A = this chain, B = another copy of it.
Amino acid sequence: MATITGVSPLAVPLPRLGPIAGVRIGAAEAGIRYKGRRDLMMMTFPRGTTVAGVFTRNKCPGAPIDWCRDALAGGRARALVVNAGNANVFTGRAGVATVKTTAKAAAALAGCPARQVFLASTGVIGEVLPSERITDALPALAEALTEDGWEDAARAIMTTDTFPKASTRSAKIGGATVTINGIAKGSGMIAPDMATMLCFIATDAAIPAAALQAMLSKGVGPTFNSVTVDSDTSTSDTVLLFATGAADHPPVPETGGTVLRDFRRALDEVLQDLALQVVRDGEGAQKLVRIAVKGAVSHKSARAIAFAIAHSPLVKTAIAGEDANWGRIVMAVGKAGEPADRDRLAIAVGGTWMARNGTVVPGYDEGPVVTHMKGREVDIAVDIGLGDGAATVWTCDLTHGYIDINGSYRS
């Protein structure tokens, strides 16, 4: 099978990420699977750094997920170690041992308890991850960390990604300016929940762990948990958010509150930006597809319908073929199993309403829709016509590229 070597046509330029006070970051070649590229990433944080995290709901998670869930209970972080090429999933006792050995080695280098080390792995499932590859590379990597290693880090965590993913925003907390940097990787096996394989965000704000967790848990809903590439849910999906507290701003209460309003806005923007970059790098993706459902009986129902459309291979191949086949959208609405009445349903593509009240719109002119379908971004709007429930999700088209990439991934 052909190998896809080009960059996604939906790629966005990598923004320059400046330093986050307190964060030291870098990458190294550990030779875990890839040759001639960096595949190991490390961040360290100052004492007092708080952490929040959300993880895959896959019932067969990797050993690093178990480790992070436990570590998160402490609410404090001093180091993050991430490798690409091997997911350390379904590796039994060997996988648990690798996690422990890695955390211990990083803890010694960062001068902290192992429980303040966070870990993530991405890549092939079911092959033992040799911990010595990581522990051999860690001392030199830890020594070489700088404040400016964000781009190297974004590149080191890539697997089938065709471009590195990063985002940055600044925000005000009580008059002081803080910065949020985030990097992400992911291009397949992207579906809620979580919707990226890996995403790491750091800020110099000083935010109690509980408030940080509340913001992150809420923030992933309309962002990472609202995107899908292929309906498959990784065993390794991880979003971690670290707050070093190096910035000088008025104290934030344990429960957060209005002082964090602008920070929340900026965090949500970073999450949205990175989530859409993941879809833009969807395996084989040629088009970014936004699906907005309104008029459902509830938000939950709208979301289920939007995902039924976004997961439908028939809808996704029609988009790949630049065919505004609203019949397949009707089918997908109906297969969601949510309340729907075909005689109240309306469907628009690119802002043109094509179908309404159970049939094609009288005098419907296909022209503007055909033009819209030829573009890189396709907008689908569905009005169920029953209630106030609304939800928006994003996906990509299903193309030959997806088959090329996934029909020969291991070989």
Contacts and interface: CB of A to CB of B under 8 A. Distances in A.
Interface of A: 1, 56-61, 87, 89-95, 124-128, 188-189, 191, 230-235, 311-314, 317-318, 320-321, 323, 325-328, 330-343, 345, 355, 357-360, 398-400, 402-403, 406-411
Contacts of A313: 230-232, 313, 398, 402, 406
A407 B323 contact: yes
B403 A320 contact: yes
Contacts of A333: 59-60
A300 to B, nearest CB: 15
A139 B152 CA distance: 75
A189 to B, nearest CB: 6
B334 A61 contact: yes
Given A90-B358, A232-B314, 5 more contacts: A58-B334, A313-B406, A321-B408, A323-B408, A325-B410
Contacts of A411: 321, 323
Nearest to A305: B59
A31 to B, nearest CB: 21
Nearest to A92: B359
Given A233-B331, A359-B94, A400-B400, A406 B59 contact: no
B91 A359 contact: yes
A324 to B, nearest CB: 9
Contacts of A89: 327, 330-331
Contact of A403 (B1, B317, B339, B340): B317
Contact of A317 (B58, B357, B402): B402
Nearest to A56: B334
A314 B59 contact: no
Contacts of A345: 60, 90
Nearest to A229: B313
A355 B90 contact: yes
Contacts of A94: 359
A313 B407 CA distance: 10
Q: State the 6 A-B residue pairs at the shortest beta-carbon distance, nearest first.
A: A125-B327, A92-B359, A60-B334, A321-B407, A317-B406, A58-B334
A124 B58 contact: no
A342 B93 contact: no
B314 A189 contact: yes
A98 to B, nearest CB: 12
Contacts of A400: 400, 403
Contacts of A342: 59-61, 90
B231 A125 contact: no
B311 A59 contact: no
